[in-house]
């Protein structure tokens, strides 16, 4: 079902137009990474302040509260570019083990937010005055940094997985309609057999092969 949804997504007009555009994917990827840099700065400043590492001269609430909106805008930009990139080659992403790890890590970021937002990020005023932030604030910041670094690692890993040869329904769909029901089984086989062996050292540019 998820695979069918991925194939449907990559075949809608906008995604097809982006995929068939000259340098569309590369440009979106560069925008995605540029936005990550901006978003990362906001995350870093917030978490480093909670860890009491930088910028030390300012109150925790100054940093956390004032960077909240820019951080959300940055995340929206990163997510928008990421969604368009996913939509262009949704089937390949769906079959990619690193993409699945990345999605799992995003889930953990959501759990992190649910756990620590009410206890730390929304109660930064409570952290003022103490010489060093409490353990829960440090744990929240360290976990946040770890999760986002993991997401960067998984994101980069996506480029190192060969797309399975059958994962081009956007090509096949134009020629002959391939039954989707069998592709799910093939996909499961490929995911376990191919992905463990296909890590390669070619500047991570599998996307340039298409």
**Closest by alpha carbon to 127, among 40, 38, 60, 202?**
60
Q: Is 128 in the site for other proteins (CB under 8 A)?
A: no
The only residue of 17, 110, 149, 193 in contact with other proteins, by rule CB under 8 A: 149
Residues 6+ away with beta carbon under 8 Å from 90: 5, 6, 7, 9, 10, 15
Enter the tokens of residue 111: 């759990």
Structure tokens at 58: 């300012």
User: Using CA atoms, how far apart are residues 98 and 161, in angstroms rounded to an integer?
Assistant: 8
Residue 9 or residue 36: which is nearer to other proteins going by CB? 36
Residues 15-34 that bind other proteins (CB under 8 A): 23, 26, 29-30, 33-34
Among 2, 14, 55, 174, binds other proteins (CB under 8 A): 55
**What binding mask, one character per residue, do residues 158-187 give for other proteins by CB under 8 A, x or -?**
-xx---------------------------
| Cβ(167)–Cβ(80) below 8 Å | no
User: What are the residues binding other proteins (CB under 8 A)?
Assistant: 23, 26, 29-30, 33-34, 36-42, 44-45, 48, 54-58, 62, 66-67, 69-70, 149, 152-153, 156-157, 159-160, 199-201, 203-205, 207-208
């Amino acid at each position: 079902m998820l695979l069918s949804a991925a194939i449907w997504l990559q075949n809608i007009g906008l995604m097809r137009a982006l995929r068939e555009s000259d340098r569309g994917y590369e440009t979106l990827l560069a925008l995605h990474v540029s936005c990550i840099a901006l978003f990362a700065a906001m995350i870093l400043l917030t978490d480093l302040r909670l860890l009491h590492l930088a910028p030390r001269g300012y109150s925790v609430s100054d940093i956390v509260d004032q960077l909240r909106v820019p951080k959300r805008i940055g995340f929206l930009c990163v997510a928008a570019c990421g969604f368009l990139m996913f939509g262009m080659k949704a089937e390949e992403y769906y079959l990619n083990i690193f993409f699945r790890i990345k999605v799992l890590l995003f889930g953990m970021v959501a759990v992190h937010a649910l756990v620590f937002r009410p206890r730390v990020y929304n109660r930064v005023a409570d952290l003022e005055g103490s010489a060093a932030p409490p353990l829960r604030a440090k744990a929240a910041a360290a976990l946040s940094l770890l999760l986002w670094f993991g997401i960067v690692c998984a994101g980069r890993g996506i480029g190192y997985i060969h797309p399975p040869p059958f994962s081009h329904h956007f090509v096949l769909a134009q020629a002959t309609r391939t039954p989707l029901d069998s592709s799910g089984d093939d996909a499961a086989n490929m995911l376990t057999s191919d992905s463990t062996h296909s890590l390669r050292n070619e500047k991570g540019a599998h996307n340039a092969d298409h």
